[in-house]
């Protein structure tokens, strides 16, 4: 912009007028090249920020619809100021008139109204939905509860999908306003780390367990069992204190397509047999106290994971076990097929159980 400013001052002296058309062209035309480059750079940055905001996670309501728009507005305003700001002082006498300002205001309102009518998703840029057929289990064969859990990582919640996919609510026995759904157990999404860090909440659609549904399950179910417990100090253990080491085994049952296994351990944990017997920093799962999380990928040899936990007192350790399997039943696959092409569904089957050791 420095050559444009120098040429503007020269043409002002030649014409003898401060706001002549010749001096204005002498400033604007050379300044169009850096402004055009800034517009090109602005387009790339806006596209990058838009894609990242679409994968930034579901913000808590009621801010979900405004956080991403606010960040984009700041970025767009910053680059527009860089591109147009240098030529505004010269063009101010022409654009600073009330009719021009009113025209620009009406144009902005019309553009916002028209753009709001466009559908925000397509097959090339789909809405990402995470679906889990979840089973709350106890032991090797008891199913306490079953549900479908849905989560999304962009600002539009699942209510947007229910309203725009009319075939889904009747199958799930809900309505478009999400009546009949509740907040999911926060442990359901733990196995899909690091995507689980982006999820603020998920919705749960409860299911009625029938004998026919139970027959479709593969038994035995994933479960945790105690192999041996060793007391550290027998005298302290006799008075209700002292350390102990619990040898445990995760039996993955009959599952063959396991994605990951997660344990969320809460209580007086002093050490464990993972990662060099060193405990990581505690993490706070939404809705729960600080805890230790261990993630085991894939399937182990023989379908069993053996390990030990050491507690510094006799207070029981609470272990939330979640196993995510990639195998889907026919009913879940049928529901996935009901989603349109503008929804990309990542689905699995989760088995959740709770133990005190």
Task: Find, among 356, 252, 247, 239, the residue nearest to 296 by Cα.
Answer: 252
Average pLDDT of 299-313?
84
DSSP 187: T
Q: Distance (Å, rounded) from C-alpha 83 to C-alpha 80?
A: 5
pLDDT at residue 331 tops 50: yes
Q: Say what the pTM is.
A: 0.74
Q: Helical H runs in 62-198? A: 64-84, 88-95, 98-115, 158-164, 168-172
pLDDT number for residue 319: 92
pLDDT at residue 79 tops 90: no
In the three-class reduction of DSSP (H, G, I as helix; E, B as strand; rest coil), residue 226 is classed as strand
- Residue partners of 210: CB distance under 8 A and separation at least 6: none
Q: What pLDDT band is residue 163 in, cutting at 50, 70 and 90?
A: confident
H helix or E strand, kind and range, residue 7:
helix 2-15
Q: How far is CA 23 from the centre of its chain?
A: 54
Give percent of the chain above pLDDT 90: 11
In the three-class reduction of DSSP (H, G, I as helix; E, B as strand; rest coil), residue 147 is classed as strand
pLDDT number for residue 197: 63
Hey, where are the domains in the chain? 2-115, 129-357
Task: Find, among 232, 249, 254, the residue nearest to 241 by Cα.
Answer: 232
The pLDDT tens digits of the residues spanning 119-147 come to 878 888 788 888 889 899 887 778 888 88
**Class of the 129-357 domain?**
mainly beta
pLDDT at residue 247 tops 90: yes
Provide the phi-psi class of 259: left if phi over 0, else alpha when psi is between -120 and 50, else beta: alpha
Task: Find, among 142, 254, 285, 144, the residue nearest to 206 by Cα.
Answer: 144
pLDDT number for residue 72: 80
């Amino acid at each position: 912009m420095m050559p444009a400013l120098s040429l503007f001052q020269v043409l002002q002296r030649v014409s003898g007028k401060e706001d002549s058309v010749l001096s204005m062209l002498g400033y604007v035309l050379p300044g169009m090249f850096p402004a055009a480059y800034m517009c090109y750079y602005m387009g790339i940055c806006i596209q990058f920020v838009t894609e990242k905001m679409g994968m930034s996670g579901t913000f808590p309501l009621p801010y979900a619809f405004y956080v991403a728009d606010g960040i984009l507005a700041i970025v767009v305003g910053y680059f527009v100021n860089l591109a147009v700001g240098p030529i505004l002082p010269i063009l101010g006498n022409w654009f600073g008139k009330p009719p021009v300002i009113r025209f620009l205001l009406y144009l902005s309102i019309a553009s916002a109204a028209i753009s709001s009518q466009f559908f925000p998703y397509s097959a090339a840029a789909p809405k990402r939905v995470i679906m889990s057929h979840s089973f709350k289990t106890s032991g090797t064969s008891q199913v306490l509860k079953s549900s479908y859990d849905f989560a999304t990582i962009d600002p539009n919640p699942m209510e947007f999908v229910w309203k725009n996919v009319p075939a889904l609510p009747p199958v799930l026995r809900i309505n478009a306003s999400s009546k009949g759904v509740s907040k999911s157990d926060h442990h359901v999404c733990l196995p899909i780390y690091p995507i689980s860090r982006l999820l603020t909440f998920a919705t749960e659609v409860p299911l009625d367990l029938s004998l026919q549904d139970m027959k479709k399950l593969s038994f035995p179910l994933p479960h945790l069992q105690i192999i041996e417990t060793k007391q550290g100090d027998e005298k302290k253990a006799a008075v209700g204190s002292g350390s102990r080491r619990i040898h445990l085994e995760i039996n993955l049952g009959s599952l063959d397509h396991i994605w990951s296994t997660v344990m969320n351990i809460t209580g007086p944990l002093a050490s464990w047999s993972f990662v060099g017997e060193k405990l990581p920093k505690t993490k706070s799962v939404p809705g729960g106290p600080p805890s230790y999380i261990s993630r085991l990928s894939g399937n182990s040899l023989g379908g069993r994971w053996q390990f030990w936990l050491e507690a510094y007192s006799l207070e029981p350790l609470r272990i939330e076990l979640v196993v995510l399997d990639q195998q889907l039943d026919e009913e879940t696959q049928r529901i996935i097929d009901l989603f349109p092409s503008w929804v990309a569904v990542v689905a699995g089957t989760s088995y959740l159980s709770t133990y005190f050791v």
